[in-house]
Amino acid sequence: MLPINYESWHHMPDSNKNQALDDIKERFALEVSDDYIKKALGKKWRDHKNSLKKQYFKKDISLEEKLQNVPPEMLRYQWEDAVRFWNSKKGEEVSYGQKVGRLQLFEIMHRKKDGSPMTSKVGEIMEKLKEKKAEYEAIASTDSSVTLITELSLKFWVLKFTVYFLC
């Protein structure tokens, strides 16, 4: 009824969601909205999919072995679709997400909707941070041993300017 071979709950066909909703309404007398039930179903579906991935999708084995490791009572084609997605580059990006750095967060938080800096002071700080970042990236590209130090230094500069801005 709610197969796991869809990338996200939003890709799940409405017919599947509505069928699950109807089954729940038949079994239980709930005094909540249909939207609330669908939201709860989506959460349970993601949790179930995640637990299957944790239990049966082992990273240290080949794709063929992953495809053969079908959970009990799971349709093979659903499992194979899910495994192929999880094993893809897009699946890995979705799984791990993109971490936002401090510099990027500072820029996001201190820009207006049109993309311009909140104040001239913020604009100056952003320019200095961009210069420092370019400086550190140039150093890091020539000597990989200083990469960690340059990342830490850049984080220090972002913190320094954030504190300066807030005071």
| Domain enclosing residue 89, as ranges | 9-96
Domains identified in the chain, total number:
2
The structure's pTM equals 0.55
Question: Is pLDDT at 17 greater than 90 in this prediction?
Answer: yes
Q: Is residue 1 part of a domain?
A: no
Q: Which of 80, 100, 84, 103 is nearest to 92 (CA)?
A: 84
Q: Are residues 19 and 91 in the same domain?
A: yes
Please answer whether residues 150 and 136 qualify as being in contact, where contact means their C-beta atoms are separated by less than 8 angstroms.
Answer: yes
Could you say which of 77, 96, 115 is where a domain stops? 96
Q: Are residues 89 and 136 in the same domain?
A: no
Higher pLDDT: 152 or 92? It is 92
Rounded to an integer, the average pLDDT of 97-109 is 73
Confidence of residue 107 (pLDDT cuts 50, 70, 90): confident
Q: Is residue 2 part of a domain?
A: no
Bridge partners for 109 per DSSP: none
Question: Is pLDDT at 144 greater than 60 in this prediction?
Answer: no
Q: What CA–CA distance (Å, rounded) separates 157 from 153?
A: 6
Q: Are residues 81 and 132 in the same domain?
A: no
Q: Are residues 146 and 85 in the same domain?
A: no
Model pLDDT, residue 150: 53
